[in-house]
Amino acid sequence: MTTSQVGDQDRSELLPRTAMFIDGEWCAASDGRTRSVDNPATEATLASVPLATAADLDRALAAAADGFARWRRASAWERSDVLRRMAFAIREQADRFALVMTLEQGKPVAQARGEVLASADQFDWYADEARRIYGRTVDGHRTDTRILVRREPVGPVAAFAPWNFPSLLSARKIAPAVAAGCSVVVMAPIEAPFSTLLFAEVAEQVGLPAGVLNIVTGEPPAVSRHLIESPVIRKVSLTGSVPVGVELAKLAATGMKTVSMELGGHAPVLVFPDADVRRAATVAALGKFRNAGQVCIAASRFIVHESVSEEFTEVFVEATRKLRVGDGRADGVDVGPLSTAGRRAAVQELVEDAVGRGATVRFGGSAPEEFQVGYFFTPTVLTDVEPDMRVMNEEPFGPIAPITTFVGFDEAIALGNATPYGLGGFVFTEDLTTAFRASEELEVGMVGVNHLTIATAEAPFGGVKVSGYGREGGTEGIDSYTVTKYTSMLLGERP
């Protein structure tokens, strides 16, 4: 089946079971309630998923407690083997998984396929990390004691993944949890749950023991509160918005649970006068509008030296004009719809605020007229942008590119650091000193120099400031799924 042939009638063959996955069983909500999931390109209902009740969540928690008791005793090689087989299974089914994601979330199918393969990378990466959870021995004060330091799994994890990368952002939590010997209850994003539920199919296919991976769907505030307040849960991991992160961190604090938070950003892109300006503008436009701009590390505020800003803007606008907006299933589409009607309304408001305060729309600025249905928004380029405009301060999470200018290095850094966010930052320059100085002075967790594609399984992904704490990926990724225990052994007399 080719992408463009996938019609409404084919959904049932593509989607996973429209149920929750608890203790190795697929199940409906105990009271039968459901919520529909829509295709953002057509606004048609794809299918419905259960709304978990408190009783359902209690079953998931009990399963996670049992699953943890078993899985913590599995050998590192066994955990590694399961993860490796999950990675293979995901790659083998990448075409189907990508179509599911396009249907529920809207991104073009080629981008969805790239995300599915990146999810497989997470499972592969943590298959290796599972066997590298090293302890150490320490020589202490006394010659008759031995201090052994060991890293043990933290316990059952409650994981919350958002709708913008519904496969990768779940994988970033499931894979390290399973690698470390934890069990996990994942709340699939209610807006786009099927990409996460597909991991339950994969777990069944490779024989992950029941209870190690549980996936629930439901009303986010009720589900997150119930799971985090349970004494079963020992760690909370969220990728989402700052307000939700603050809320969940407060809940976790009450039970002294460890927390990882990845809460989005508003990444500055500093373009210095010595940069390859045409290349920078082309790369920036393609990167900005990937996944319709709904990317936490998206290049988001373009801060360009005034001597090259007009050249940068012209090339950026030309690259933007060439992007094809449409249903992600159609061949050649670069920009799909926004994921929800609410997102499109929020993006429109940001544009109106900027224009009302004097910004110039160089391209786009509204929903394209040719679509009668679907949450589409034309990729938009704004200039004459001022620091007090909302688009320069709030994470736009949509296809808006504000371009502003600077004169000196210090001004560029000050503008780059001017928001409370600190996830990603980007620097375009051909000068080594500028590259080092700027990447060190940006208050962010990750920097890309002369490119934007910095998210990869082998690197520690995460932010500073309100963008959160904790790292996913790299050798750091497994740390927060383990706790350190030391044992001091007193030896007897030398025989």
- Catalytic residues, by residue number, are 262, 296
Nearest to 178 by CA among 74, 65, 60, 61: 74
Contact 187, 160 (CB under 8 A): yes
Please identify, using beta-carbon distances, which residue of 64 and 338 lies nearer to ligand NAD.
338
**Residue type, position 120, single letter:** A
How many whole angstroms separate alpha carbon 193 and alpha carbon 1? Answer: 23
Please name every residue paired with 261 in a beta bridge, in sequence order, or none if there are none. 238, 469
- Binding part of the chain for ligand NAD, among 48-56, 106-114, 115-123, 155-163 by CB under 6 A, reads 155-163
Residue 247: CB atoms within 10 A of its CB come to 17
> Could you say whether residue 193 binds ligand NAD (CB under 6 A)?
no
**121, 129, 327, 395: which one binds ligand NAD (CB under 6 A):** 395
Q: Does 182 bind ligand NAD (CB under 6 A)?
A: no
Distance CA 312, CA 325 (A): 22
User: Closest separation between CB of residue 240 and ligand NAD, Å?
Assistant: 4
Cβ closest to ligand NAD, residue 22 vs residue 236 = 236
327 binds ligand NAD, rule: CB under 6 A: no
Task: Name which of 343 and 465 has its Cβ closer to ligand NAD.
Answer: 343
Q: Binding of ligand NAD at residue 160 (CB under 6 A)?
A: yes
Instruction: Kindly state the smallest distance separating residue 200's Cβ from ligand NAD, in Å.
Output: 19
CA of 227: how far to CAs of 50, 145, 335, 478, in Å?
Answer: 16, 41, 36, 22
Site mask for ligand NAD (CB under 6 A), range 89-128, x = bound: ----------------------------------------
Q: Which of 85, 172 has the CB closer to ligand NAD?
A: 172
Q: Is residue 164 at the binding interface for ligand NAD, with CB under 6 A as the rule?
A: yes
Residue 239 beta carbon to ligand NAD: minimum distance, rounded to whole angstroms: 5
213-242 binders of ligand NAD (CB under 6 A): 220-221, 224, 239-241
Q: Token pair for residue 194?
A: 């099927």
The pattern of x and - marking residues 284 through 323 that bind ligand NAD according to CB under 6 A reads ------------x---------------------------
Q: How far is the CB of 382 from ligand NAD (least distance, A)?
A: 18
Specify the residue, 220 or 273, whose C-beta has the smaller distance to ligand NAD. Answer: 220
Binding mask 5-34 for ligand NAD (x = CB under 6 A): ------------------------------
Distance of CA 71 to the CA centre of its chain: 26
Q: Identify the residue whose tokens are 């594609």.
A: 453
Quote the CA–CA distance of 171 and 176 in Å, as a whole number.
8
Is residue 260 at the binding interface for ligand NAD, with CB under 6 A as the rule?
Answer: no
The angle, 0 to 180 degrees and rounded to 10, between the axes of the packed helices 94-105 and 194-206 is 160
**How many Cβ atoms from other residues are within 10 Å of residue 207's Cβ?**
10
Taking the complex as a whole, how short is the minimal distance between the CB of residue 278 and ligand NAD, in angstroms? 30
CA 389/CA 411 separation, integer angstroms: 18
Residue whose CB is less far from ligand NAD, 130 or 347: 347
Query: For ligand NAD, which stretch binds (CB under 6 A), given 12-20, 132-140, 158-166, 477-485?
Result: 158-166
Q: What is the DSSP string of 153-192?
A: E---EEEE--SSSTTHHHHHHHHHHHHHT--EEEE--TTS
Instruction: For the CB of residue 263, give the shortest distance to ligand NAD in the complex, in Å.
Output: 5
Single-letter amino acid code for the residue at 350: L
Stretch that binds ligand NAD, among 22-30, 46-54, 184-192, 372-380 (CB under 6 A): 184-192
Residue in 15, 19, 202, 244 binding ligand NAD, rule: CB under 6 A: 244
Among 163, 316, 377, 426, binds ligand NAD (CB under 6 A): 163
205 makes contact with ligand NAD (CB under 6 A): no
Beta pairing, strands 213-216 & 184-187: parallel
Q: For residue 278, give every residue at least 6 positions away whose Cβ sits within 8 Å of its Cβ, in sequence order, or none.
A: 311, 315
Task: Give the largest Cα separation in the chain, rounded.
Answer: 88
Distance from C-alpha of 199 to C-alpha of 183, rounded to nearest angstrom: 14
> Position 271: which residue type?
V
Of the two residues 11 and 226, which places its CB atom closer to ligand NAD in the complex? 226
**241: closest CA among 343, 327, 315, 152?**
343
**Paired tokens of 344:** 């499109």
- Residue 262 binds to ligand NAD (criterion: CB under 6 A): yes
Q: How many residues contact ligand NAD, by CB under 6 A?
A: 25
Does the footprint of ligand NAD cover residue 264 (CB under 6 A)? Answer: yes
Task: Name which of 43, 40, 45, 50 is nearest 18 in CA terms.
Answer: 50
Binding residue (CB under 6 A) for ligand NAD from 272, 397, 428, 461: 397
Give which of 339, 334, 316, 338 is closest to 324, Cα–Cα.
Answer: 334
Return the number of the residue (81 or 247) whose C-beta is nearest ligand NAD. 247
Residues from 331 through 370 that contact ligand NAD (CB under 6 A): 342-343
- Of 158, 93, 82, 156, whose CA–CA distance to 123 is shortest? 82
Phi, psi of 236 (to 5 degrees): -120, 130
| DSSP classification of residue 3 | G
Q: Which residues bind to ligand NAD, rule: CB under 6 A?
A: 160, 162-164, 189-191, 220-221, 224, 239-241, 243-244, 247-248, 262-264, 296, 342-343, 395, 397
